[in-house]
Chains A and B, each alone.
Chain A
Amino acid sequence: MVKSRVYIVASLIAFSFLIVIIRLFYFQIIERDYFLEYIKKQYYTKEKIILPRGTIYDSNNRILGISVPTVDIFVIPKYIKNKERVAKELSTLIKKPYRTILNKLYTKKHYVVLARGLDKSLKERLLTLRKELREWNIGIIESSKRFYPLGSIAGSTIGFVSRTTGKGMEGLELKYDKKLGGGTGNILVMKDAMGNPFTIENEENLEKSHDIKLTIDSNIQFIVEDVLKEFVKERRPKEALILVVDPNTGDIVANATYPNYNPNRYYRYKNHKNITFHNAYEPGSLAKPFVLAEAIDEEKISFSKKYYCGEGSITVDGIRIRDHKKFKNLTADEIIIYSSNVGAIEIALKLDPDRFYKRLFSLGFGKSTKTFPGEASGLIRKDKRPVEIAYASIGQNWTATPIQIAMAYSAIANGGYLLKPNFIKQIINKETGDIKKPEKKVVGKVLSDKSVEILQKILKQVVEIGTAKKGRSNYFTIAGKTGTAQKYDPKIKALSDEKFYTWFAGYFPAENPKFTVVIFANEPKRIKKWEFIGGGTVSAPVLKKLVDRIMFYYKSKPDKNGGEYGNKNPSRN
């Protein structure tokens, strides 16, 4: 009797367990996917968020671009019970007009975003408000917003990140998009009974991001932009730029462009170009030192002889090419110092056309440096007709980007080596703290020691007594060359006498070059009616203001007159 009762109870218990096991088998194995989906809908929420990217620093560790944590608020309007109260409470909290919020709450859309990019510190208060109002259809999503604390400083160089995709769209943000990480990702969040996110269950597409330290010095960048702003105000050009590069490493120290934009409000600007990289222009007389370098290497020039530079023009293949002055007789160095077109053409016509074009290509012209996204390569047509050689020697029928000009002039400054331009000082792994420093990339030796020595002497004279004398500094030695290129005017189907590109390219201090500088303007306007527009009158004067300010920032002692100025105080002596 006893035994049978125990068996009955035991069988009942066993049977109950069996039912539970069968039921569990049904839930866990047979209908697993269905119930997983069911639970996910009830307790989990998949949220698409903009992921934070790596931070961009300048060379002094000042932040140029940072991802700031934010929150976005959205609602499902049809389920909001008391729209007026929600609008009123949210309006005071997120500081948005009551009417705007209310109108959004009355829209017939299924899903409405009330605010994006709010300060994350508001999240707690928003959650409390939602709890108080018992409006569970107000959604709060954590996100991030790219912020550029220095505003438009170096804007066109840094570029920007899309507000919706979180991906780099322009400039260095685009170039180093993979390294900086970011983009959008999905987070599977488990909610508690009140609908508040409880724990992160799964993270998808969350790429590792790196911080990037640039070679740009925001203080120099500011000085350069300040000088450029003044220049633009005075000359009202269509486009202008000042580029500062370290000729010994190829590091880009500052790059100020006009037009520029504030990446915080990139969507308000139509033009996001960085003309230093995206556009190519005719370099004008900036090409002449390279013609001379080739002539030196081909031994087709004598510095003791005077060359007849005509009566202000030269005719090649029946085409008359004008000079800006009647120079008559000039020595080879004077041809560069006073920038004689006829003299440069006379030299160029003696050169082997193949070697001449090879020289231009070897200096980096005609191909992109691949430093910036969407970079132009410039155009050189290898046309060996004398008239084409003549025009090429005065920089008139070929184009170069300002960065190519800067690197070619850096080669003169650093002893003849063409370097690859560089923006990156360090790439920092945020997790491990590992630092990667890119090495200096030497493309090749492109100028002989002899030609470098001669060009360095001549380019110093250009600034002291030649076409760039308006840019001469009282305290520092500068070497460089001015350039003026006539623009093609489609209206008259010829080169315009009114529209020019004006250039200055050079380096300072001339004795121990620390910076290469390129100053460019597209169609600068005359200040006085009779004024001659050219690199010497327009671009060179900018140099004077720039050099003293930059060198003072580095607390550099003047190198002119043996540093004499630095130790004297004229106001006291």
Chain B
Amino acid sequence: MENKRTRGLYRIPYLLWILLFVVVPILLVLYYSFFDIEGNFSFVNYQKFFTPVYLKMTLSSFWYAFLITAISLLISYPTAYLLTKTRHKQLWLLLIIVPSWINLLLKAYAFIGIFGTYGAANSFLKMIGIGSRQILFTDFSFVFVSVYIFIPFMILPIFNALNELNPTFIDAANDLGASKWTTFRRVIFPLTIDGVKSGCQVTFIPALSLFMLTRLIAGNRVITLGTSIEQHFLVTQDWGMGSTIAVFLIIIMVLIMVVTGTRKRGV
């Protein structure tokens, strides 16, 4: 009896948190999405979302988020693998994570300097004889900087998964005559798939709604759903449309969580 009551007490902070900061905000977003700009109840925002402008925006958000996630994964997996093989792995890991402690805005401004016409990147290109190119305000710079920002979040879960991998499995695979590639494909990768999945989630979902970088690094040449939400709330003050886009983002995110979720647990 006593035990049950204390357990109930412990649940209170969690429930309060979920209610105040998760359930209520989502309901508010849903509520606002049903009002047009003049405050009348209507479905006009939902109709507007299915016009070519917003569908195109959704598509391009997806495309960039996909690119960012895929490139991050391509870099992170080998890196994480390498890290687990080094002697001071925690130190190396720390070094990779340190940049994520620095404010995003500062990093973005640093990249404006590096990628600018007279920046370090262009000096280097000139030195090796390629000549000056426009790097800032291109798709390349946007994807590059985003990947740079998300890599630590991708490496961490993969590193943890690889680190927990029991090395005897690999030995067993070797002993049974599997080639290195087969060992990776049939043993290492499947056993670390959970790390890959959570790495992709923490990259793909925020990448879908990136907004500050689209202006600072891509010069508004890349428009994502995040940019559009920001504009609707701060400039147009069309909270309804902003909320509608947010609703669709939430739906998309839930779908992604379901698809990449770990369903096989406990089977």
A, B bound: no
